[in-house]
Structure 1
């Protein structure tokens, strides 16, 4: 029985919050990253089952026939649902193939041992529980590590086709992974060194706060890839191999020189970098080449990724504006907008990354010379 009146309240809040958030993700009112959010909503729904057994106890349905067998099994599927949501966030054209049946190996193993446990004698139950716990922990760590690696690759990949990565870098998913790992470490530490009955409420409060943080970040996400199917297929040429080997030769040296000169002239004359939504597809259309060829030219010809290539022009524009007397009335945000950035945060971070100083510091040092 619960020693603190807050215990059942926190459990109900956690369960209710996860179920409500899963409903919002699945229905997806903003209509962004639809398939990814469908899987992410399913992940949240499955995650809620980890408190479902306690909730069933609160409402006196603890001994409902077959309930806990079903809950134990779907809990095991939670890491898979999270991984599939990550896959669909970073690869919107992802489709299940025969090789993806590997996802079923661990669940099949788990349900086999689960059936054996439910039919085992009292003396052998603990042995099966140990195996099931081991499988649960192993799968959770496996898919967490793989998901984290996929997100890191995605963060490198978007630098090859987008000039502003702030809203599409999936940092919020990375934070969720780190948060879950930290919580698991805390839970393990408390379980080993503190009486679990005395710390349930503290762990559950941490989980509740984590869920609110997940709600905040997940509900403000934006579409990662272009909605246009043709553009989306053009972007997806960038594979994991392209991220690791972006200089794989796809155009001749002669064409490289010509496209490079044409691109440089375009950036100086038409200033496409002032478009805050500029991406690889738009720029490729302006110089009448394919996104794949343009990506190769930027990476090999300028030794830069698309993000850095475009933002160097923006920063040069910003530096001129910061020093011009006619623009002294503009704020830092105004300078950012005039230079092609769409937020002060992105402008400041990019400016410092390229120049090793903030816009304000640059202006102060330049005016004192």
Structure 2
């Protein structure tokens, strides 16, 4: 099998994988992250259409310019928008569209105008403008998606003690990889024959698609399914990003009381050993509201929930590491309340400057 035949095989795998994965995400048999998975499924289906020209050529044996059709061009232009929408719903499942969100249609409307101009035979300047709009749209929503994920990774530390599995790291890495691949392709296109790079680009895309499939299908629900609890956590997130968080939610006397109560509970009952501990569970244990508890941890201790809980876990792990225990490093991680060896190693080194193995030695 020569390079050309291998590239054709990869193209078929890319198209088939994207279409299958899009159907799985839209059907969503596990019923998790429903709105996010639906938008992500639409994004994957639109993404698959970029290989339709090559697939149709392999089927018919003649060049079919599917990609150049007016309606196809317009629909494909929404690809990065649907990717961004899926990020919005992953990070805030209660997000609802408002009148102000009609701003998302500004670039597509301008692009539609360019397509109409091209259809009427005005190649210049609409041809160049349409290419610029495609690049602007892709870069803008890619950047916006990346920023949204980074903000999300900070927000979930306000209510979750174990962020692994809900931090959307896989989407962040995929954005960076795709951005790097596209930059390489553009630079190569300017100086060399882009066709010679097709095999490499398609091979990378295929690997990315398999990674997307693996991580997206194992992505669990980020927020609680119960609507009241979900709204509580989302509203706390919003407060942390606003000026209102600087205002006193409770009097100083009440802050000191809850702070003392919290310290007592952490020492006597050791709730941090529960790997699924979150702000809601701890608030119920103290019989206080999640808003007040979040305020006490942020203001009274100068830390977020994630930092506060994991400091206790690391201290407990130190005790187990000092003992002549038969427990492995993974066993100590689980005993201390961590849900994986990776998160244990990362958190332990961040707080102590050493890995658990180094500390034990």
Give the TM-score, by structure 1 length.
0.92
Q: Does the 8 A contact of 1:156 with 1:243 survive in 2?
A: no
CA distance, structure 2, for counterparts of residue 202 and residue 56 of structure 1:
21
Q: 1:244 to 1:357 in 2, by over 3 A?
A: farther
Instruction: Output aligned runs, 1:264-275, within 5 Å.
Output: 264-275=263-274
Which residue does 2:83 correspond to in 1? 82
Report the count of equivalent residues.
358
Q: CA deviation at 1:10?
A: 2.2
Cross-structure match for 1:352? 349
Residue 230 of structure 1 deviates from its aligned partner by 1.4
**Any gaps of 5 or more consecutive residues in structure 2?**
none
User: SS of the residue aligned with 2:4?
Assistant: coil
- Structure 1 pair 68–54 and aligned structure 2 pair: CA distance change class (3 A): farther
CA deviation map 1:15-56 (0-9, x unaligned): 111111111111223322111111111111111111112323
The Cα shift of 1:201 comes to: 2.1
Deviation at 1:66, TM superposition (A): 10
CA gap of 1:65–1:37, structure 2 versus 1, over 3 A, is closer
The aligned residue for residue 100 of structure 1 is 101
Aligned to 1:18: 18
Residue 110 (structure 2) aligns with = 109
Moved more, 24-33 or 167-176: 24-33
Q: Give, in whole Å, the separation in 2 of the partners of 1:243 and 1:350.
A: 24
1:57, CA displacement in angstroms? Answer: 3.2
Deviation at 1:69, TM superposition (A): 1.5
Q: 1:240 to 1:179 in 2, by over 3 A?
A: farther
**2:7 equivalent in structure 1:** 7
Q: Is the 8 A contact 2:52 2:66 kept in 1?
A: no
Consecutive unaligned residues in structure 1, runs of 5 or more = 365-369
Report the alpha carbon displacement of residue 126 of structure 1 after superposing the two structures with TM. Answer: 5.2
What pairs with 1:170-209 in structure 2 (closer than 5 Å)? 170-209=168-207
Q: Does 1:71 align with 2:79?
A: no
2: distance between equivalents of 1:77 and 1:353?
A: 41
Could you tell me how far apart the structure 2 residues matched to 1:201 and 1:351 are?
43
8 A contact 2:50–2:67 mirrored in 1? no
SS class of match (1:5)? helix
| CA–CA distance in structure 2, aligned partners of residues 336 and 188 of structure 1 | 45
Output the CA distance in 2 between the equivalents of 1:138 and 1:241: 32
> For the residues of structure 2 that align with 1:146 and 1:218, how far apart are their CA atoms?
20
Are 1:334 and 2:352 counterparts? no
Distance in 2 (CA, whole Å) between partners of 1:277 and 1:247 is 29
Which position in structure 2 is the counterpart of 1:255? 254
Report the Cα distance in structure 2 between the residues aligned to 1:118 and 1:185, rounded to whole angstroms: 30
Which residue of the partner structure matches residue 169 of structure 1?
167
> Structure 1's 320 and 64: CA in aligned 2 closer, same or farther, altered over 3 A?
closer
Pairwise CA RMSD: 2.0
Aligned to 2:127: 129
More helix by share: 2
Cα deviation for residue 174 of structure 1 reads 0.4
Contact 2:87–2:149 (CA<8 Å) still a contact in 1?
yes
Q: Is the 8 A contact 2:160 2:279 kept in 1?
A: yes
With 124-133 and 329-338 compared, the bigger mean Cα shift is at 124-133
1:338–1:332 distance in 2 versus 1, CA, 3 Å: same
